[in-house]
Structure 1
Amino acid sequence: MNIRIALFVLLTLLMAPATRSQADDARGARVALVIGNAKYPDAEKPLTQPVNDARDLADELKRDGFDVDAGENLNGDAMRRAFDRLYNRVKPGSVALVFFSGFGIQSGRQSYMIPVDAQIWTEPDVRRDGISLETVLGELNSRGATVKIALIDASRRNPFERRFRSFSAGLAPIIAPGGSLVMYSAALSSVVSDNGGDHSLFVSELLKEIRVPGLGAEEALNRTRVGVTRASRSEQVPWISSSLAEDFSFVPSSKTAAADTSKANPVVDRTPPEPAAKANPAPVDTKPAVAVSPPVAKPSATVTKSAPTAAAEPDKPAELAKQIELPKPIDVPKELAKELGSITAEPVSGDAGQDNEKVKLSLRDDPTVQSLSNRIEENPADANALYRRGQVYASKGAYWSAIKDFDDTIRLNPRDVEAYNNRCFVRTIVNELTAALKDCNEALRLRPNFVDALDSRGLLNLKNGQNKNAIADFDAALKINPRLTSSLYGRGLARLRSGMKSEGEIDITTAKGLDPNIVKEFAGYGVR
């Protein structure tokens, strides 16, 4: 009799794990990838919040039954490996979650998560080095995940966006497959500044809500949005897009159900970034224009919730751009016009020696400047290296050095439209306004409807007191890109100076909502 009881107990114990496993499979596995990128060599200093936020969220997700793979300061190869591991862990019926905190960039109406070793100078570089959020969600969907959640805290002003006059603030709307829930830490095409603490307001509010037992994921994110908006006094309004087709809670209402869930230890990938030497990108022949792609209509199942934007985007920006009547170029003195096409290697005014000692000292050990200078020393005719070094100089405030590099670039390629535009902008900053105007006009002659050159010339006219011409340039730029923050703010200033108080205040308020740093940026250009 005792033998029979012992056998019964043994068989029961052997069958129990299988029963729990079947229950887990029916409920669907929970897998997550959590990334916090803080140490970007191109940034002035490391970000303070991404790593702390990623660690706290990873710990919470583990408690909620997720199999968590966590990564910190991942370079491009490490990020791609991490996403491959995530895809391999997804099974039909899975819940798959992605959290990314760091720098993000929108390009071609898609949002890209940026590795710490990214070398981004032109639009194609974003697609080469970044990880597309839409691609990630599409892959998770193809692997059978029924619930796909993306939490992206990357609406920061990043060091790549002005290299040198191409700028797309914030993140783009997402076209996600069914069963997706996407949340950005800020509204579309807007950026926010860190609150100065060790943790972001976004993740702090998020953790409060996902810990509520039985609270649906969509409701938890909506509550997070409300919490962030209130705490920031509406300066930061997160954006949500949902097409969930089934209920999902981070913490089930029954603690017993949560206890049955397998909680694997996280796999922590702390692969260090590639050495700085890899920051030297291969030369390319041309620098493509920034494309303005038409927005894609969202599927009917997707519900989008965000703060209203100042102006609706045109349905077909490319077609609209062809119809725009550009402001006529302003005449330049004949003696300057004669110089066009015969630019010498010497700067028009000033030289590299005019850059202040502090700037030159900071650039002396800059690894990007060093690598580009080495390339130029080996091949003085490397126009691409000269152009990129000019961009670095300009972004660091070494304006006379930048002008000289753009001079040399144009000498090697008299049709380099971006070099003309960038030199126009730098000359505007140093108050070489007549020469700057010639550059902007030439850029627009070579590439009509070039939005960056319109924006540059608008700033030039603003500094020169030509408010009517500035408004015309900014208007033309905003017809092509309604969210171009610098044109919005510049037009607002020009309108105020022209006596259009209400219109000017609307432009300035909208621009400051998209980019809280825009006032400081224009002050750096000498415009208040």
Structure 2
Amino acid sequence: MSFIGRPFFLSLILTWAIPVAVVASPERVAMVIGMAEYEAITPLTNTRNDAEDLAETLEGIGFDVTLGIDLNEAELRAMMKDFSFRSETADLALIYFAGHGIEVQGENFLIPVDARPRSNLDVQRQSVSLKELLDVVERARVMRIVILDSCRDNPLGGAIDTEQVLQTAQQTTDQPTRGVGGLAPANPDRGTLVAFAAKDGQVALDGTRGNSPYARALMQKMAKPGLEISLMFRQVRDAVLQETANLQEPYTYGSLTGQPFYLNPDQDGQPNVSGDEPSKTWSKLRPDQESQLMALADLGDTRSMIGLAYIRLNPEDQRFDPAQAVAFLQRAAEKGSPEAQMELAKLYEQGIGVEVDEARALELYRAAAEQDLADAINDLGFLHYQGGLGLRPNPTRALELFERAADLRHPEAQFNFAALIDDGLIADKGPKDAAAYLYAALRSGSQDVLNLLLERPTMFAEETRRELQAQLQQFDFYDGSIDGDIGPGTKRGIRAAYGLE
């Protein structure tokens, strides 16, 4: 059995160079929705403009955009289903919704144009929840962003009167609004950012200049070359506060990955979602942006602390200072960042910036794993499988950790767990389960997994290969025989499932 994983614990099968004449699926996809012509509640003036203009902005910076205007519930759900499948092979999936939204019993709902709500139950039945939107983008490989230019709550409890809600909202300002009181705070999974046009508890203005203040600021900052995404949302916030005289403060929830990201790279070639080492990509940050990152870190932003640490871990950068990197990671780890805990564990394990301390490294790996950081769980699996950091080999515990990491969609863990099933080491799972994990690993975007399945498919039993063909056939990636022969047709299906056409 061959594993993909930590090279100093088990033999690592390195990425193989495979020349394939194919075109990759879009790395960045967006679904942009504007709801204006409501049938039963007050129409909105600028939401159509906001959606159309933002879609144009996103297309201009390289997104593959799906635009929906004035959708009824059925149309909205059909668009969500299609976008969910396409976003699985994208690095970044982004959703923007401009329209009415309502909080019902602590949950946020976005209202299609054909909704006729007269009660909380009507809202729940006739609308799409924020949770459903998050489910749509949850399988994007690196980053997920949901932006709501829509802030309403339901102040009237169980029997809502949307006309009265809208009239009440407009008593607080002479501008049209998209709500009163704001949506409920969001709590997305790691690697997902939810951005609200107005902080929970505030009104979002519809605007009087063709676009909402939030949409206008968003488009201006998105189009700005070379602006790292954390700083971009910070500048959007500042611009909206200035335009609305502090009436409206945008807010973001959740945490992005530790990889720097530029919606619109400048000519110096900042990456979009790069496969390079984070220390190298963060080092490309311009000095003015590094100072802004420092300011965010001083405000307690753990992602900024991690970015500053990565810069100081790049030996090719004049700012190289492992001890200072440790200090930044310590701050972020103490604030509960699992990614900082994981990176700090590596430094303690390898003695970079600190003395080697295996007990402290293991403690940090476990802390990150307890917060469901799949990388940490997978590494702990290897530590238990082979023994390390003071642990004795414990294959039973290792298998539990591999399965947990696989179920959290860690692609290497998915592959490894499929191999364990194929070898008959998982009592309650068989070839169909192994194939399901292999298919999921392809969709998760591991180049190692793709290369192994193309070059060494016979490392898996024939029945597992048959089940993989059936999986590919189920999702229209393969139309040949289910015979376990991974020939040209099956390989085309494997590449297509990975996101290559």
Q: Same fold (TM over 0.5)?
A: no
Indicate the TM-score class for this superposition, using the shorter chain for normalisation: 0.3 to 0.5
Look at both structures and tell me which one has the larger radius of gyration over its CA atoms.
1
Report 1 or 2 for greater relative contact order, CA contacts < 8 Å, sequence distance ≥ 6: 1
TM-score normalised according to structure 1 size: 0.42
